[in-house]
Amino acid sequence: MPTIVFVSPKGGAGKTTSALILAEQIARSATVTIIDADPNHPIQSWAAGPNTPANLTVVSDADEENMIDVIEEAATRTPFVIVDLEGTAAKIVLLAVSQADLVIVPSQGSQLDAAQASRALRVIKQQEKMSRRAVPYGVLITRTNPTIRTRTSGHLMNTFREAGIAMLNTELHEREAFKALFAFNQPLSHLDPKDVSNIDKAIANAEAYAAEVIGMLRASQEKGAAA
Ligand SMILES: Nc1ncnc2c1ncn2[C@@H]1O[C@H](COP(=O)(O)OP(=O)(O)OP(=O)(O)O)[C@@H](O)[C@H]1O
Ligand SMILES: [Mg+2]
């Protein structure tokens, strides 16, 4: 029953977008709850639109007081739980991370975002010390240009890797379709090609990303079972 928590203190790093893209992919074959713990409730607003997959439930009453209970309860109802947090380093993040089977740290390929991602990684390390267990995580580079890799973002990714930071191999590209999710309040699969370009490419990117996340969950489950 994996719980996947999206963390970055940086506003606009791509947490909500990456969380929703993952949830939609998982909902194709399993039930999933998204805990929309951002007080602005972007995912709840999205789910008020049409065509929300029947497999996807949104819960939006989580706060610092009840976060752990809300995650536990969701995990009894659906095999996958995804938590989207606001861009903060507050206690609620630590609480959510304490329940995580996987933490994803979205970061754009710029120096400022990389610094913010490092702050998120410190939260993970802090939680690991508190709970005396390893918290699997991966940095997800977001909003990259699908056709060219800039030197700056390539350099930053190498810096992350050299520092021993776990990175997803898949990047989430900058795609109009990923923005359109929230503009039209529709899942990717229901966007209209008349309104939005390259939906197929965005879906292929979403599938590769979700497949890698599922692979990471499997690998850490197997590691846990072997321990
Ligand atoms: N891969 C992407 N392609 C295109 N636009 C994107 C992508 N990822 C995020 N965006 C856009 O960037 C903005 C910020 O993204 P998002 O809301 O997902 O970030 P966030 O980390 O959840 O922010 P906050 O901390 O405010 O909750 C949004 O306008 C979103 O549509
Ligand atoms: Mg958000």
Digitized pLDDT (tens) for each residue of the chain, 227 residues in all: 799 999 998 888 999 999 999 999 999 999 999 999 999 999 999 999 999 999 999 999 999 999 999 999 999 999 999 999 998 768 899 999 999 999 999 998 887 778 888 888 888 998 899 889 999 999 999 999 888 777 777 787 888 888 888 999 999 999 999 999 999 999 999 999 999 999 999 999 999 999 999 999 999 888 877 76
Residue 72, domain CATH: 3.40.50.300
Report how many domains make up the chain. 1
CA of 182 to the centre of ligand 1 (A): 10
Question: Does 116 contact ligand 1 (Cβ within 6 A)?
Answer: no
Parent domain of 200 = 3-226
How far away, in angstroms, is 225 Cα from ligand 2 center? 33
**By three-state DSSP, how is residue 174 classified?**
coil
Task: State the amino acid at position 88 in one-letter form.
Answer: T
pLDDT, residue 157, reads 81
Residue with CA at minimum distance from ligand 1 atom 25:
11
CA 107, CA 94: separation in Å to the nearest integer? 19
CA of 108 to the centre of ligand 2 (A): 14
Burial readout 120-158 (b: 16 or more C-beta within 10 A, e: otherwise): bbebbeebeeeeeeebbbbbbbbbbeeeeeeeebeebbe
Q: For ligand 1, atom 27, name the residue with the nearest CA.
A: 86
Structure tokens at 212: 């890698």
Residue 104 phi/psi, 5-degree rounding, is -110, 130
How far apart, in whole angstroms, are the C-alpha atoms of residue 176 and residue 110? 20
Give me the residue label for tokens 């846990």. Answer: 224
pLDDT in the model for residue 89: 66
Predicted pLDDT at 118: 85
Contacts of 195 (CB under 8 A, 6+ apart): 180, 184
Ligand 1 pocket test: pick from 5, 10, 16, 108 the residue with the most ligand atoms within 8 Å of its Cβ. Answer: 16
Distance 170 CA to ligand 2 centre (A): 20
Indicate if ligand 1 lies below 6 Å from the C-beta of 178.
yes
Nearest CA to ligand 1 atom 8: 14
* Ligand 1 close to Cβ of residue 113 (< 6 A): no
Q: Which atom of ligand 1 is nearest to the CA of 87?
A: 25
**45 ligand 1 Cβ < 6 A:** no
Nearest to 141, CA basis, from 110, 178, 112: 110
Instruction: Please report the atom of ligand 1 found closest to the CA of residue 21.
Output: 1
